[in-house]
């Protein structure tokens, strides 16, 4: 294999350098493993918005070489949780980084002026972005696409106004419709005065063992296109979950007030497909094409018959956060709200759940109208037109209350009250599965407080028919969380996790000429990376003992019945014990 290279950029003076970091890839495979080791090497206690706080983009040895190894991981200190910021996006970024010749791009510093970066195989440049500053995430991409030419595929990562305002729930948008959504990468980019990063390049690594590579590639390709493993993602996509989840009481509805949504069939994957689906698109080097694009036609001049058409991506998480959880059952209204979210560049889950908190808090009398906090708006579930006004006021920074809403539900509930209504784990707003204890436990204990850390929602659903003990289930959750460190170090799309089995990964490494890996080494490395993330979180102040079940979830009836706070805390303690075992795998320098 050629060497793995890292591009370091300092925005303070525009300098850059390239380092060979093959040794880190040898130790930690790539992606999140390598990125975590680089993050752990930063000084403890750096503010997420300090110029020295890095943004690390990383891909892995399979990126752009094998099908569906399409993701890029971004690592940073999260301004939302205060600890590990880790977010994944597809699109063309992994391909562009590979083409530019960099498996890692690390950005530090604070530019003196709003800027964007261009990176290709020959040069790195910092450009003034004064005319882009203030533009929506959608407009910024259009302008950069027209302005920055390349003979190769380009990837454009940019923030919207929410990131410029350093909102800790701002994400960064990648290409047409992918996002580093969670944990505040957009705010960190904004704090660096960095509007966008444009990456391109045409380098391709020579494949040494061509016959082996071709055989393995074909096997993977057939598994992706001919088996049923990926079909559901292409067909209705994750939006197919809406109705089945509601049927088992697992679809968060009205700020997690119940799991059954009476309007589920109106906002189902089928309903979106029939009324609004206009195109499937795919990340570069993926044959599945699971990204569902809806068309929304809006009237932009109320005086005249003038219309504009937008394409907006949708999936289960977006439908939950702006549909059932706000009790909105019109796909068109959901898309209108999502369009505002896309333009501002917020994480749709975090802003949606924070608005749901505001509605509950308002109705509990905590946001007192006489204090003019909402400036006359009466907040109700199901009232899309008022929620649209709320979003616009947050975007305009209308008053202190609206400015606070883009700091997330945990911040707001600490300032205004209503902690029991803030459905956040480790300060991160909850995803769209209310299936029972293991969904909640997964959000709480996962390194990035995501449903994708350990898929607890799947543990709950399988156990509806299995009746395993809590001891067995928490072990299963922990095993999945650690195994995903290997998948995320290769930065494959997790939809292909059943194709990239241990055996397939080992064969894939061999076929690229990366020798010396066996199952034991793979598993030890995965546990080591998991432990390194936990060590980083601890250094930033995270404690398992601080985790609690959000008040609202202690009384709601989930797919698996009621979840008691005591049982939740017991299982957190059991998970903590299992993690203590991983800590034995920590490299000496992080002990
Ligand atoms: S399955 Fe979907 S998200 Fe995953 S790589 Fe393909 S298009 Fe991207």
pLDDT given for residue 4 in this prediction: 97
Q: Is residue 425 part of a domain?
A: no
* Ligand 1 pocket residue status of 288, Cβ below 6 Å: yes
Q: Are 532 and 75 in contact (CB under 8 A)?
A: no
Q: Is residue 216 part of a domain?
A: no
Residue 213 CA to residue 206 CA, distance in Å, equals: 11
Atom of ligand 1 nearest to the CA of 91: 8
DSSP state letters, 40-109: HTSPTT--TTSTTS-EEEE--TTTTTSTT---EEEEEE-TTTSSEEEEEE-TTHHHHHHHHT-SEEEEES
For residues 48 and 176, state if they share a domain: yes
For residues 37 and 84, state if they share a domain: yes
CATH number of the domain enclosing 154: 3.60.9.10
Q: How far is the CA of 504 from the centre of ligand 1 (A)?
A: 19
Q: How far is the CA of 332 from the centre of ligand 1 (A)?
A: 25
Nearest residue by C-alpha to atom 4 in ligand 1: 493
| Pocket test residue of 224, 288, 293 for ligand 1, highest count of atoms within 8 A of CB | 288
Domain total of the chain: 3
For residues 293 and 379, state if they share a domain: yes
* Ligand 1 pocket residue status of 286, Cβ below 6 Å: yes
For residues 26 and 167, state if they share a domain: yes
| Pocket test residue of 225, 289, 315, 492 for ligand 1, highest count of atoms within 8 A of CB | 289
For residues 22 and 162, state if they share a domain: yes
Residue 83 CA to residue 87 CA, distance in Å, equals: 13
CA distances in angstroms from 426 to 90, 247, 551, listed in the order given: 25, 28, 14
pLDDT given for residue 147 in this prediction: 80
For residues 484 and 576, state if they share a domain: yes
- Residue 25 in tokens: 């890839």
Q: Which of 200, 219, 248 lies at the terminal end of a domain, its last residue? A: 200
Q: Is residue 286 part of a domain?
A: yes
Q: Is residue 214 part of a domain?
A: no
| Pocket test residue of 60, 233, 236, 237 for ligand 1, highest count of atoms within 8 A of CB | 233
Angle among Cα 87, 91, 92 to the nearest 5 degrees reads: 115
pLDDT given for residue 370 in this prediction: 67
For residues 388 and 448, state if they share a domain: no
Q: How far is the CA of 491 from the centre of ligand 1 (A)?
A: 12
pLDDT given for residue 367 in this prediction: 85
* Ligand 1 pocket residue status of 282, Cβ below 6 Å: yes
* Ligand 1 pocket residue status of 291, Cβ below 6 Å: yes
Nearest to 57 by CA among 128, 7, 21, 132: 7
pLDDT given for residue 374 in this prediction: 94
Residue 257 CA to residue 364 CA, distance in Å, equals: 14
For residues 32 and 137, state if they share a domain: yes
Atom of ligand 1 nearest to the CA of 493: 4
pLDDT given for residue 172 in this prediction: 98
Residue 328 CA to residue 229 CA, distance in Å, equals: 32
* Ligand 1 pocket residue status of 492, Cβ below 6 Å: no
List the chain residues with pLDDT less than 50: none
Q: How far is the CA of 237 from the centre of ligand 1 (A)?
A: 10
For residues 175 and 145, state if they share a domain: yes
pLDDT given for residue 198 in this prediction: 97
User: What are the residues whose beta carbons fall under 8 Å from the beta carbon of 48, sequence distance 6 or more?
Assistant: 76, 77, 78, 79, 82, 85, 168, 184, 187, 188, 191
Nearest residue by C-alpha to atom 2 in ligand 1: 290
Q: How far is the CA of 264 from the centre of ligand 1 (A)?
A: 25
pLDDT given for residue 299 in this prediction: 86
Helix axes 470-490, 437-445, angle to 10 degrees: 50
Q: Is residue 224 part of a domain?
A: no
For residues 44 and 169, state if they share a domain: yes
For residues 64 and 188, state if they share a domain: yes
Q: Are 68 and 224 in contact (CB under 8 A)?
A: yes
Atom of ligand 1 nearest to the CA of 281: 7
* Ligand 1 pocket residue status of 313, Cβ below 6 Å: no
Strands (E), 224-305: 277-281, 291-301
Instruction: Give the domain extent around 173.
Output: 5-200
* Ligand 1 pocket residue status of 289, Cβ below 6 Å: yes
Q: Is residue 212 part of a domain?
A: no
Q: How far is the CA of 265 from the centre of ligand 1 (A)?
A: 25
Residue 223 CA to residue 496 CA, distance in Å, equals: 9
Q: Are 155 and 175 in contact (CB under 8 A)?
A: yes
CATH number of the domain enclosing 295: 1.10.569.10
Q: Is residue 509 part of a domain?
A: no
- Residue 397 in tokens: 């920074």
Nearest residue by C-alpha to atom 8 in ligand 1: 283
* Ligand 1 pocket residue status of 70, Cβ below 6 Å: yes
For residues 406 and 452, state if they share a domain: no
Which pTM does this prediction carry? 0.97
Q: Is residue 226 part of a domain?
A: no
pLDDT given for residue 303 in this prediction: 86
């Amino acid at each position: 294999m050629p060497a793995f290279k890292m591009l370091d950029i300092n925005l303070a003076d525009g300098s850059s350098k390239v380092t060979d970091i093959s040794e880190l890839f040898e130790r930690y495979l790539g992606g999140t493993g390598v990125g975590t080791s680089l993050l752990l090497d930063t000084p403890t206690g750096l503010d997420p918005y300090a110029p020295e706080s890095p943004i690390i983009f990383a891909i892995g040895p399979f990126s752009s070489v094998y099908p569906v190894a399409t993701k890029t991981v971004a690592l940073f200190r999260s301004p939302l949780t205060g600890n590990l910021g880790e977010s994944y996006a597809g699109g063309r970024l992994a391909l562009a980084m590979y083409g530019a010749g960099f498996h890692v791009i690390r950005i530090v510093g604070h530019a003196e002026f709003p800027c964007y970066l261009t990176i290709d195989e020959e040069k790195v440049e910092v450009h003034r972005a004064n005319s882009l500053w203030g533009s929506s995430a959608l407009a910024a991409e259009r302008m950069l696409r027209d302005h920055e030419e390349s003979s190769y595929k380009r990837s454009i990562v940019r923030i919207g106004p929410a990131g410029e305002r350093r909102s800790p729930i701002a994400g960064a948008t990648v290409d047409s419709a992918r996002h580093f959504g969670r944990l505040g990468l957009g705010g960190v980019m904004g704090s660096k005065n960095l509007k966008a990063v444009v990456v391109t390049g045409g380098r391709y690594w020579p494949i040494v063992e061509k016959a082996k590579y071709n055989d393995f590639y074909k096997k993977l390709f057939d598994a992706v296109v001919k088996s049923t493993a990926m079909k559901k993602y292409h067909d209705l996509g994750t939006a197919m979950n809406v109705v089945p989840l509601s049927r088992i009481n697992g679809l968060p509805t009205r700020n997690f007030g119940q799991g059954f949504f009476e309007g589920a069939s109106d906002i189902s994957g089928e309903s979106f497909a029939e009324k609004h689906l206009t195109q499937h698109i795919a990340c570069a080097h993926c044959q599945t094409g699971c990204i569902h694009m809806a068309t929304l036609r809006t009237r932009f001049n109320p005086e005249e018959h003038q219309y504009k058409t937008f394409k907006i991506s949708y999936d289960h998480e977006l439908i939950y956060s702006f549909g059932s959880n706000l009790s909105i059952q019109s796909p068109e209204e959901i898309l209108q709200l999502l369009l505002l979210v896309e333009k501002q560049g917020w994480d749709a889950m975090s802003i949606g759940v924070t608005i749901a908190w505001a509605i509950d808090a308002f109705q509990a009398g905590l946001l007192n109208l006489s204090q003019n906090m909402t400036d006359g708006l009466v907040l109700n579930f199901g009232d899309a037109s008022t929620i649209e006004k709320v979003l616009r006021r947050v975007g305009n920074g209308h008053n202190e209350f609206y400015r606070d809403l883009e700091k997330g539900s945990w911040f707001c509930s600490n300032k205004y009250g209503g902690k029991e209504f803030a459905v956040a784990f480790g300060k991160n707003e909850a995803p769209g599965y209310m299936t029972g204890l293991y969904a909640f436990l997964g959000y709480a204990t996962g390194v990035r407080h995501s449903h994708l850390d350990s898929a607890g929602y799947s543990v709950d659903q399988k156990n509806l028919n299995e009746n395993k003990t809590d001891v067995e289930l928490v072990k299963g959750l922990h095993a999945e969380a650690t195994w995903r460190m290997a998948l995320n170090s290769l930065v494959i799309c997790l939809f292909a996790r059943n194709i990239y089995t241990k055996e397939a990964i080992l064969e894939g490494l061999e076929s690229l000429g990366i020798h010396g890996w066996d199952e034991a080494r793979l598993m030890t490395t995965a546990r080591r990376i998991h432990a390194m993330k936990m060590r980083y979180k601890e250094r930033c102040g995270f404690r398992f003992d601080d985790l609690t079940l959000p008040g609202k979830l202690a009384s709601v009836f989930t797919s698996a019945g009621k979840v008691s706070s005591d049982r939740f805390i017991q299982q957190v303690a059991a998970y903590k014990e299992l993690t203590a075992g991983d800590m034995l795998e920590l490299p000496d320098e992080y002990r």
